[in-house]
Amino acid sequence: MTTKDALLAVLDGSGQEHILADYDNLSTAEQLILAAQVTSFSAAQWKHMNAMLKDSLDHLNKSNGSASAAAAKDPSITPPPAATIFHLPKLLAEGSAEVATIRAAGMHVIARGEGAALLMAGGSGTRLGVTIPKGLFHCDLLPSGRSLFEYHCNRVRKMEQMAAAWARDSQVAVPPGAETTGRGLLHLLVMTSDQNDAATKAFFCEHNYFGLRPDQVLFFRQSSLPCYDEKTGKVLMEEKGKICVAPGGNGGLYESLVRTPTAAALASSKSEQGVLAQIQMRGVRYVQIFSVDNILAKLGDPYFFGVAAARQAEVVVKTVPKASAEERVGVFALTDGEWGVVEYTEIGTERALQRDDVSGELAYNCGNIASHCCSVDFLKLAAKDMQTSTFYHAARKNIATVNGIVPAIKMEAFIFDEFKLAKQVPTRPHGGGDRLDAFQIMQVDRNAEFAPIKNAEGAATDTATTAADLVLQLHTKWVAEAVMAAPEALGTGEEGYSVQDRATALQRLREGLCQWEINPLVSYEGEGLTPLAPQLIRRSLTGEGVLSLEETAQNRANM
C-alpha cells in the first residue's frame, strides 16, 4: 500500500496537497481508492495539469461571447483544397478507375493483418434513458435485437471474410490461420471508461466476443482528468477520499493507447505494454476510429484504409456534405494553414454560405462525423505531443462535491486538435515536411454511414428511432437493388418467381409496405444479395412491417 508520504511526494509542488487533508481519517479501502487516483498521474503530470487549467481558462475567457464574430472576420480560415478530398459517392457514380485502386489498397491492408478498428465506447446510456454502457444498447424498432457492439463486430467479421476471399483471388498471402475465413485479420480496440469497463468486458465475454477471437479484441480505458475550482485552481473532492474526475475528451485517446496497464489491469490485459505497442508488434499500420453510437459505422472499410495507404496519408477523416448551410455541425478546414475542425459557432454566416466557384457546392462542406483513420506512427506522435500540450477545452459545469453542488471546470481534449501534426510524422516519405497530402478527407454518403444514437426519444434528431429508420431505409434499398438486378422471372415452384411476383415485390418495397434489416454477416454494404433474390421476392410479396435477413447455412450456400 502506498504511504501518505509517498502520495505527498507525488503532489509536491502542484499546490494540490489538500487532496490528502483527510487521508488519516479514511478507512483502508478509502485510502486505497484515493491513492490509486493520486498515483494515476505522475508528479510531473500534476504540475502539467495546472498549466493545462490556466491555458484552457485563458482560451475559454477570450473566446466567450466573441468566438463567432472573431472567426467570421479571421481570413486565416480556408476551405479544404480539392486535391485533399476523395469524394467516394461521386467517384463511384462516375465509374472512376481510382476507386478500384483505392479499394484494392485497402483490401491489401486488411488481408495482411495491418488494419485495426477502434470503438470509442466510454459513454453511458444516460442521455438515452438507460443505465447500461452505450455499446450494449439496442433499437427496439429493429427485429434482430442486436446491440450496437454486435452490429459493429459483425461488420468486422464480414470484412475479414471478404478480405480473405479477395486475397485468394489476388494471390496475396494472409497471416497463418486466416486463409479461409479471415478470422483475426482485423484487430478490434474498445475504449471503455472507469464506469463501464467491467460491464463492457463482461458483455463481450458473455457473447463469446460475437464470433471474434478473444486475442484480437483489446480493451483500454479512456483517461479522466480532475475537476477544478476556477477561482482557486484547486482540485475538487467528490468525497473526503475521492477526487472529482470527468472524462478528458476523445483526445485523451492518444495517451490512453500508449499508457502502460496498471497492476489491476494486467490480469485482464495479459500484457505489460500499452495497446498501441501491442498492435504495432502484431503488424498493424492503420487504425480506424469510430463512435460506438453510430450504428452505420463501417468498421474495416477498405476504402478508408485504401485512401490512407494509396495516398500515403497519416490521417484520413470521413465527412458528409452538410444538409444545409445552417446545419449545426463542425467542418474540416484549414486555420492558419493547419488542419482541424471549425465549429458551427465559429464559422460565421459569410463562410457558412460561401460556395465553390467550380462545383457550386458549399465551400465549407466537409461535416465532421467523428470517423477517422490514423497511421500508428501518427498516433504515437500525437500521444507524445499530448504529454506536453496545454491546449485543452475548458467547460463550466455544476458538479456534486463533498461540499454540495458547486461550479467547476472540466477540461477536455478533442481528437482532431492533433490532426495538425499529420505532416510532422517523422517516418513520412521524403522526410515529411509541409505536405498537405499527409491529411486526406473522404467524403461519404450520409445515409449509408451516419446514424448516431445520442438522444432520448422525443428529440428531433439522433434518437434510436431516427437511427433505426436510417438502417431500414438503407437495407430496404439494398434489397430493392438486388431484386432489380435479378432475372425478371426464375422457373416455377417454391424456389422460383414470376415476372409479376418480382414487379409486385419491388412496388411493395418502394411504397414501404415492408422493410428489411440485413445482418452485416450477410452483407457489408449491399453486396451478395442478388443470389438471394428468390427468397427476398417471396418474403417481400407477403411480408408486413420489418423483415429480417439473418446469416443461415442456406443463405451462406446461396451467396
Q: Is 425 exposed, middle or buried (0-12, 13-18, 19+ CB in 10 A)?
A: buried
Give the pLDDT confidence score for residue 434 in this predicted structure: 47
- Calculate helix-pair angle for 499-511, 533-542, nearest 10 degrees: 60
- The whole-number pLDDT of residue 226 equals 97
Cα separation of the two ends of the chain: 59
pLDDT on residue 228: 98
135 phi, psi to nearest 5 deg: -65, -20
Written as one letter, the residue type at 361 is: E
Residues 6+ apart with CB under 8 A from 46: 10, 11, 13, 14, 16
Contact at 8 Å (CB) between 416 and 397? no
What b/e sequence results for 101-135 when a residue is b if at least 16 CB atoms lie within 10 Å of its CB, and e otherwise? ebbbbbbbbbbbbbbbbbbbbbbbbeebeeebbbb
- Give the pLDDT confidence score for residue 70 in this predicted structure: 47
Question: Cα(442)–Cα(380) distance, rounded to whole angstroms?
Answer: 23
437 Cβ partners below 8 Å, 6+ apart? 83, 84, 311, 312, 313
**Tell me, what's the pLDDT at 59?**
87
What are the phi and psi torsion angles at 554 (to 5°)? -65, -45
Model pLDDT, residue 515: 97
Each residue's pLDDT tens digit, 74-112: 558 999 999 999 999 999 999 999 999 999 999 999 999
| Positions of the chain with pLDDT under 70 | 1, 64-75, 261-271, 430-436, 552-559
Q: Which residues of 358-396 are buried (b: 16+ CB within 10 A; e: fewer)?
A: eeeebbbbbbbbbbbbbbbbbbbbbbebbeebbebbbee
Cell numbers standing for residue 405: 453542488
Single-letter residue type at 144: S
Q: How wide is the angle at C-alpha 268 spanned by C-alphas 195 and 295, nearest 5°?
A: 55
Domains identified in the chain and CATH numbers: 4-64 (no CATH), 77-426+436-454 (3.90.550.10), 467-558 (no CATH)
DSSP character at residue 136: G
Give pLDDT tens digits for 231-244: 999 999 999 999 99
Q: For residues 403 and 240, is the Cβ–Cβ distance under 8 A?
A: no
Q: Which three cell numbers stand for residue 172?
A: 496475396
pTM: 0.93
Longest dimension (CA), the chain: 85
